[in-house]
Each structure stands twice: as structure tokens, then as C-alpha cells.
Amino acid sequence: MTALGPHAFFIVGSYLASLAVIAALTIWIVADNRARKSELARLDRRQPGADRS
């Protein structure tokens, strides 16, 4: 850590905060994708005569 100088805590903290935000966004996107697929499947089952183009 001494190679980063006196601001090592700030630098490492910034990288960790960025990693946490990126991980949270990735989890959110995956969860939302699953929810949308589930919702579309449910809506598809509700309309058996709908056009499936």
C-alpha cells in the first residue's frame, strides 16, 4: 500500500465503492430481467388466442 502514497485509503476506497456500485447494478439488471421474463410468460398464458408473431 505504500506504493500508492499517502492517499492509499482514498484510492482503495474509491475502487471498492465503484466495485460495489457495479455489482449492485449487475444484480439489479439480472433480477429485473428475470422479473420481466416471468411477467411476459404470465401475460402470454392469459391470452391463449393472441397473435404470437
Tens digit of pLDDT for each residue in 10-46?
Answer: 999 999 999 999 999 999 999 999 999 999 999 998 8
Q: What is the pLDDT of residue 4?
A: 83
What is the pTM assigned to this prediction?
Answer: 0.70
Q: Which residue has the higher pLDDT, 2 or 36?
A: 36
* The pLDDT of residue 51 is above 80: no
Q: What is the per-residue burial (b if ≥16 Cβ within 10 Å, else e) of 6-44?
A: eeeeeeeeeeeeeeeeeeeeeeeeeeeeeeeeeeeeeee
* The pLDDT of residue 53 is above 60: no
